[in-house]
Amino acid sequence: MLATKAVMEQGIHVEGINFFTGFCVEGHTHAIRKRDSDKPKRNNSLWVAEQLGIKLHIIDIIEEYKQVLLNPKHGYGANMNPCLDCKIFMVNKAKQWMLENGFDFIITGEVIGQRPMSQRKQTMPIVAAESGADDLLVRPLCAKNLPATLPEREGWIDRNQLFDITGRSRKPQFALAKQFGFTDFAQPAGGCCFLTDESYSLKLVDLWKARGKRDYELDDVMLLKVGRHIRPKPHFKMIIAREDGESQFMSGYKKEYISMNCHSHRGPLVLIDGTADDDDLHLAAQILARYGQGREAEQVEVTLRDQQGNERNIVVKPLLENEIPKEWFV
Amino acid sequence: MSQETLNVRRMLCPLPVIRTQDKVKTLQSGDILTVECTDPGVMQDIPAWCRINGHTVLETRAENSEYVIVLQVV
Ligand code: SF4
């Protein structure tokens, strides 16, 4: 937002590009969980574009991004976040878009030293070089601490009006936001990507381990964002809705997964991922019963539903809390 | 002037916006597009996308956990 504004102040026409990897936090989660429904439902990128008065192009890179996440040349950050490869990939895509749409250079809001992996002084040239953007990549917020790029050398953009922000402190950005007259200032603080989230990353690794291959579909990505995940056996996992919003969202997957819910008492919807036989389903029903209002009952009746919608009911005894080992929780 | 319908049920934002954006690229000025969604987030996001790009939102309505947005391409 600030980098764009700084460049627009110089009379340069800017359009925004937002890449959607599937792992982006905003959008999905707030729409699913009622608990989060009091949070603003706006899409930050659209909101920023509107504040700035620029066009925004949202580009779906879900499929292509798989190669970045599955085989990152530069490895992962603290969790399953391949930030450096991700930046290289996105800047490369931005360059392609720039060429196809008649633009002259690329700007990003990066600041040296702001992020541990991808925004260090040593890694900034790697992003420029490996993305192929080279010196067409301008970082207006820290440009004065980096060698002059082609747009600066050619005078397309005035380097003197760019900035020299460094480090993790966001104070300089807040000061700049104030200077630009932004009262509500959206800047991601690392919380915009599920891959930086430890519990999400553990669920992703668990999924790969259980399936015996490192791969995923968009539905997997989505379902890792919702529910409580319990894996009682290596070959199947339960996804248990934590509230009505999640149950409603997960019911859209009933044609792809075996599903179950408590018939005799109120309780959550459960999806079964993997291959479960009758004994497994019986165990899953006992676990499910633990999460419904029948948890103290002697017996509860659970409805099992296959992907074709065929239903049958079974009667089970709910497991006690101490009968569900901690290791089962993914 | 054509009238088209886009089904983005079950998709969560920003996918409905992306699909709307890609569909609009194939339409002509004055065409009308009805987008059918299940993510309530679209009620904010698609109108915001329309404002940014100059398209007109003719109608938004919520009915039975579904959200419908009718827009006219600029
Ligand atoms: S946080 Fe996520 S989207 Fe951002 S650079 Fe890292 S992997 Fe990419």
Phi-psi region of A274 (alpha: psi -120 to 50; beta: other; left: phi over 0): left
| A133, amino acid identity | A
Active site residue B13: yes
User: Which pLDDT does position A245 carry in this prediction?
Assistant: 84
State which of A59, A61, A84, A86 you would mutate to test the pocket of ligand 1, scoring each by most atoms of that ligand within 8 A of its C-beta.
Answer: A86
Contact A27 B48 (CB under 8 A): no
The answer, yes or no, to whether ipTM is higher than 0.90 is yes
Q: Is A81 in the pocket of ligand 1 (CB under 6 A)?
A: yes
| A55, amino acid identity | K
Using the Cβ of A34 and the Cβ atoms of chain B, whether some distance falls under 8 Å is answered with: no
pLDDT at A144 over 80: yes
Tally the domains of chain B.
1
Chain A CB contacts of B15 below 8 Å = 20, 27, 60
Residue-range domain boundaries for chain A:
2-194, 226-328
Average pLDDT over every residue of A88-112: 96
User: Which pLDDT does position A189 carry in this prediction?
Assistant: 47
Separation between Cα atoms, residue A232 and residue A288, nearest integer Å:
12
Separation between Cα atoms, residue B51 and residue B45, nearest integer Å:
10
Q: Which of residues 36-55 of B touch A (CB under 8 A)?
A: 38-41, 43-45, 48-49, 51-53
pLDDT at A118 over 80: no
Using the Cβ of B11 and the Cβ atoms of chain A, whether some distance falls under 8 Å is answered with: no
Separation between Cα atoms, residue A117 and residue A110, nearest integer Å:
12
Tally C-beta pairs within 8 A across A and B.
Answer: 66
pLDDT at A228 over 80: yes
Q: Whose CA is nearest to atom 2 of ligand 1?
A: A193
Q: b/e string for A298-329 if b means 16 or more Cβ within 10 A?
A: eebbbebbeeeeeeeebebebbeeeebeeeee
Domain region containing B26:
3-72
Q: Whose CA is nearest to atom 6 of ligand 1?
A: A83
- CATH number for the domain whose boundaries are A2-194: 3.40.50
How many A from CA of A115 to the centre of ligand 1?
A: 10
Tens digit of pLDDT for each residue in B13-44? 899 999 999 999 999 999 999 999 988 889 99
Return the ligand 1 atom nearest residue A19 CA. 3
Tens digit of pLDDT for each residue in A48-79? 999 999 999 999 999 999 999 999 999 999 99
pLDDT at A330 over 70: yes
Mean pLDDT of chain A: 91
Of A131, A135, A142, nearest to A109 by C-alpha is A142
- Residue B61 maps to which CATH number? 3.30.110.40
CA distance B55 to chain A (A): 12
